Amino acid sequence: MSNMDAYITDEAHGTNWRFMLGDSAERINEIAENSVHLSVYSPPFQSLYTYSPSVRDMGNSLDKGDFFDQYSFIIAGNLRITVPGGIACVHVAQTSTTKTTHGVIGLNDFRGDVIRAYQKEGWIYFGEVTVDKDPQAQAIRTKATALTFATKNRDSSSSRPALADYLLIFKKPGDRAKRVKNDVSNDEWIEWARPIWYGIHETNTLNARIAREADDERHLTPLQLDFIERCIRLYSNPGDTVFTAFGGVSSELYMAVKLGRKALGIELKPSYWRTGCQYLADLETELSAPSLLDHIGA
């Protein structure tokens, strides 16, 4: 069996987390109906990032139709496992076209395609936030010539602004049996209720470097921990179950456990899954360690 065809499943547990290895489109069927209170994840951005050589990896889809055919199983499964009134926070960005692949340099409306895909499966499109990005950092990371000073100075008709990230908020029809009583202060809400989020630190991520393998075509970019924290604190109660269908190195699970929730996730790639399990195990050890106040009897 070649690396392209290799597929294995596994599972690891902690006191407040369960991390499944395998294909989300299949393994999501093992999760009980109406058992998840909040989902937070970033799906592969169609052909923009390729995380593994597996044919099951959505980043390796043949085209947009193939990508959303696969994704629809996860979107529908996520609706089934979510409690009525539960929220799905989905992180996306627009994707670019190239002359080599598409014949033109421009953008695809990936954000809009994701919204329509969720609506098609029965989710309510409830809200969204634009997340500010650093154009200089993006130019360096993506090699986007449209962002460079050279392009601006040579022919600014070939320049465009940096691509923002988006938080898409979807709600399952119905009302939550237990209302969400968050700990978000009024001052925090003044900032977080804005249609644009500033202050999301692009480097505030779990270190994914050790999870990369030779077959990776592009680097894994974990979701920022402060982005995840805002979603969890806004849309879940302590003790709720937070789910991610694209677990990566466990960023969403890590923050869920750290914030007193139960974490449930699925990841396709074994190296990412193993790294995530270690992060989660280390976090639980850290959280269970006695504090200085315990030692002095406070």
Q: What pLDDT digit, counting tens, does each position of 13-23 carry?
A: 999 999 999 99
User: In the structure, what pLDDT confidence band is assigned to residue 1 with cuts at 50, 70 and 90?
Assistant: very low
pTM of the full predicted structure? 0.88
175 or 142, higher pLDDT: 175
Task: Yes or no: say if 197 and 129 are a contact pair by the CB < 8 Å rule.
Answer: yes
Domains of the chain: 10-295 (3.40.50.150)
Query: Is the pLDDT at 50 greater than 70, yes or no?
Result: no
As a whole number of angstroms, the distance between CA 80 and CA 174 comes to 13
**Average pLDDT of every residue of the chain:** 88
Q: What pLDDT digit, counting tens, does each position of 222-247 carry?
A: 899 999 999 999 999 999 999 999 99
